[in-house]
Amino acid sequence: MSDQRARIAKYVSATPGVHFSALVRELDLAPGQVQYHLRTLRRKQGVAEEHLYGKTHYYPLAYDDRERRVLALLRRETARDVLASLLKHGSARPAAVAEDLDIARSTLEWQLDRLVEQNVVEKRYDSQGRVRLELANRSETARLMGDVVPSLPARMADRFVRLTDRLLDDVAGTEPTDE
Amino acid sequence: MTANGIGRVAFHVGSALGFDGSGPVLASLLLLGGLTSVVLVVLSAVAFCRRRSRSYLLVTLALGALSIKAFLGGVWMFRLMPVGQHHFFEHGLDLLTAALLGAAVYYARAGSNDGKPSAEEFRSR
């Protein structure tokens, strides 16, 4: 295996779910070079590829299909915070989670759309027909959360969304509502 | 609008952008820009008083820096400051505004502990 290919394989193994662009940036390689090596690695069963929400992620082979999708979501800081809040409180009402994290309801709902779609979070209805959020698989979420750390650009992008969602919510004067 | 009218507007915009003097268009731009940014400063100060978070304070300060720029424009118009100094302060304020907004984004995550994910403490559960 070439030196560069080994470097790429090692980086993917240390940062499961890494983006193509992050590989190019962090390893200081040309995009074409990374593309070539990744193609070879995939053919030789060295890395797995997953397309999710318009991004391509790379993983070591240790993760199955579902784990790969969960890991991709766990690379987002706000999604992690939502999941951490649910780990701490068990089942919770959406308004309580938004308040716990001091995020706008719109920020929470955007994250929930994906977390529910990928079956990480479940929406249940209580006896009064109100929504409650619950983790679909507590132990899996806790385990996978430790395997990835969001990158600095990803953190700043998430915080930008948090701040602007909150400011826009304040300007619009919308109060959090419970459906 | 007639072709003549469009031409007149283009001329005024051009002369305002062309830095060729203290025309009435430039004066009204400065006045309008200054008033609008002061309104935004007041709005963000109200938001800060309600939320009491660091991000809101930083946004208020950034908008404050923006409104000072309009004031500096006026100072330059009345020839109270040499143009070199004016540019230095003006672009210094650009940097300050950008830095304050960057810091506001950083602190948008409540209780940011060096960006350490708070989830880690629940791992063992």
pLDDT at B117 over 50: no
Cβ partners under 8 Å of residue A122, min gap 6 = A116, A133, A134, A135, A136
Average pLDDT value for residue range A72-76: 92
Q: Does residue A95 sit within a domain?
A: yes
**Confidence at residue B116, expressed as pLDDT on a 0 to 100 scale:** 42
How many domains, in total, are found in chain B?
A: 1
Instruction: Note the pLDDT tens digit of each residue in B83-92.
Output: 888 889 989 9
Chain B interface, mutation test: which of A163, A165, A170, A175, most B Cβ atoms within 10 Å?
A163
Q: Are residues A35 and A79 located together in one domain of the fold?
A: no
Q: Are residues A89 and A9 located together in one domain of the fold?
A: no
Q: Does residue A178 sit within a domain?
A: no
Q: Are residues A95 and A8 located together in one domain of the fold?
A: no
Q: Does residue A179 sit within a domain?
A: no
Other CB atoms within a 10 A radius of the CB of residue A96 amount to 16
What is the C-alpha to C-alpha distance for residues B120 and A72, in angstroms, rounded to an integer?
17
Average pLDDT value for residue range A66-73: 93
Interface confidence, given as ipTM, is 0.70
> CB–CB of B118 and A166 under 8 A?
no
Q: A151 to chain B: nearest residue by CA?
A: B115
Q: Are residues A55 and A86 located together in one domain of the fold?
A: no
Q: B112 to chain A: nearest residue by CA?
A: A159
Q: Are residues A32 and A92 located together in one domain of the fold?
A: no
Q: Does residue A101 sit within a domain?
A: yes
Q: Does residue B27 sit within a domain?
A: yes
Q: Does residue B8 sit within a domain?
A: no
Q: Are residues A144 and A113 located together in one domain of the fold?
A: yes
Domain boundary among A39, A62, A85: A62
Q: Are residues A143 and A91 located together in one domain of the fold?
A: yes
Binding-site residues on chain B for chain A (CB distance < 8 A): 43, 47, 50-51, 53, 55, 59, 104-110, 115, 117-120, 122-125
Instruction: Give the pLDDT band of residue A174 (cuts 50, 70, 90).
Output: low
Q: Does residue B28 sit within a domain?
A: yes
Q: Does residue B9 sit within a domain?
A: no
Q: Are residues A32 and A117 located together in one domain of the fold?
A: no
**Confidence at residue B23, expressed as pLDDT on a 0 to 100 scale:** 77
Domain boundary among A37, A62, A87: A62
> CB–CB of A158 and B105 under 8 A?
no
Average pLDDT value for residue range A75-91: 93
Q: Does residue B115 sit within a domain?
A: no
pLDDT at B102 over 90: yes
Instruction: Give the pLDDT band of residue A167 (cuts 50, 70, 90).
Output: confident
Average pLDDT value for residue range A137-146: 92
**Confidence at residue B120, expressed as pLDDT on a 0 to 100 scale:** 39
Closest CA to A94 of A112, A76, A117, A120: A112
Write phi, then psi, for B82 (nearest 5 degrees).
-65, 150
CB-CB: which of B105, B109, B122 is closest to A88? B122
Q: Are residues A50 and A94 located together in one domain of the fold?
A: no
Q: Does residue A177 sit within a domain?
A: no
Q: Are residues A90 and A131 located together in one domain of the fold?
A: yes
pLDDT at A1 over 80: no
Which of the two residues, B1 and B115, has the higher pLDDT score? Answer: B1
Q: Does residue A99 sit within a domain?
A: yes
User: At A103, which CATH number?
Assistant: 1.10.10.10
Chain A residues touching B115 at Cβ < 8 A: 77, 150, 152, 155
Chain B residues touching A156 at Cβ < 8 A: 105-106
Q: Min CA distance, B3 vs chain A (Å)?
A: 40
Q: Tokens in use for B61?
A: 């300060």
**Per-residue H/E/C for A6-54:** HHHHHHHHHCCCEEHHHHHHHHCCCHHHHHHHHHHHHHCCCCEEEEECC
Low-confidence winner among A123-132, B10-19, B24-33, B39-48 (lowest mean pLDDT) = B10-19
Domain holding A7, by residue range, is 3-62
Q: Min CA distance, B35 vs chain A (Å)?
A: 19
Q: Are residues A114 and A164 located together in one domain of the fold?
A: yes
Q: Does residue A68 sit within a domain?
A: no
Q: What DSSP string describes A69-104? A: HHHHHHTSHHHHHHHHHHHHHSSB-HHHHHHHHT--
Chain B residues touching A159 at Cβ < 8 A: 105-109
Instruction: Note the pLDDT tens digit of each residue in A3-50.
Output: 889 999 999 999 999 999 889 999 999 999 999 999 999 988 889 999
What is the C-alpha to C-alpha distance for residues A53 and A72, in angstroms, rounded to an integer?
10
CB-CB: which of A83, A102, A158 is closest to B119? A83
Q: Are residues A30 and A99 located together in one domain of the fold?
A: no
Average pLDDT value for residue range B59-65: 94
Domain holding B91, by residue range, is 22-109
How many domains, in total, are found in chain A?
A: 2
Q: Does residue B118 sit within a domain?
A: no
Q: Does residue B67 sit within a domain?
A: yes
